[in-house]
Amino acid sequence: MTTYKELQAQIEQLRKQAEELRQAEIADVITEIKTKMQEYGITGADLGLMGKKRIMKTSPAVEAETPAPAHADAPAGNEM
C-alpha cells in the first residue's frame, strides 16, 4: 500500500513535470505567434497591445497590510 508521504512526493513530482511541460508549450506558442506576426506583418499595435499603460494589480497580501481609512461620518471615540 502507498503511504500518504509517498503520494505527496508523487504529487510534487507531477506538479514539477506539469510546470516544465507548460513552460515548453508556452515557448512553442510564443514562437508560433511571432512567426505568424512576421509572416503577415502584424504588429503589437494591430493587436491592441501598444499605447496603453499597464496597471499592475497588488497582491492580496499587500492589500491586507494597507490600513483602511477612517470613515469621516463616524466621530472618533464615540462608540455606543
**Does residue 74 sit within a domain?**
no
Report yes or no on 44 lying in a domain: yes
In angstroms, the CA 17 to CA 9 distance is 12
Instruction: Flag whether pLDDT at 28 surpasses 80.
Output: yes
Task: Tell me what percent of the residues of the chain surpass a pLDDT of 70.
Answer: 62
d(CA 24, CA 19): 9
**73 is a domain residue:** no
69: left (phi over 0), alpha (psi -120 to 50) or beta: beta
For the chain, how many residues are written? 80
**Containing structural domain, residue 22:** 4-63
Count of domains in the chain?
A: 1
Q: What is the mean pLDDT of the chain?
A: 82
Residue 76 lies in a domain: no
Residue pair 30/37 in contact by the 8 Å Cβ criterion: no
Q: Is the pLDDT of residue 66 over 90?
A: no
